[in-house]
Amino acid sequence: MTNRTPLAVFLYNRPLHTRRALDAISRLEGLEKIDLFIYSDAAKHLGHAESVRKVRAIAQECAAPHPARIIGR
């Protein structure tokens, strides 16, 4: 049993929303007690591929200073 709280974030193809959400999470008090899981779906349409790539890059950047697990599908 751990005293850590799991937090799951689901991302798709909205880079601006991704940045805002992950920036807010990075400012959480007690972030060191959170196990952060970031899920990113693959592009469902060719037109979404670039946005999904940007979202994943933002997730990598924002997760780097924190222990976070990024799961891409």
Task: Give the rounded percent of residues in the chain with a pLDDT score beyond 70.
Answer: 97
Once rounded to an integer, what is the mean pLDDT over residues 38-56?
93
Residue 62, pLDDT > 90, answer: no
Quote the tokens at residue 67. Answer: 């222990």
CA 45 to chain centre: 21
Instruction: State the pTM of this model.
Output: 0.84
Strands 68-72 and 5-11, how do they pair?
unpaired
pLDDT tens readout for residues 2-16:
688 899 999 999 999
pLDDT tens readout for residues 23-35:
999 998 888 888 9
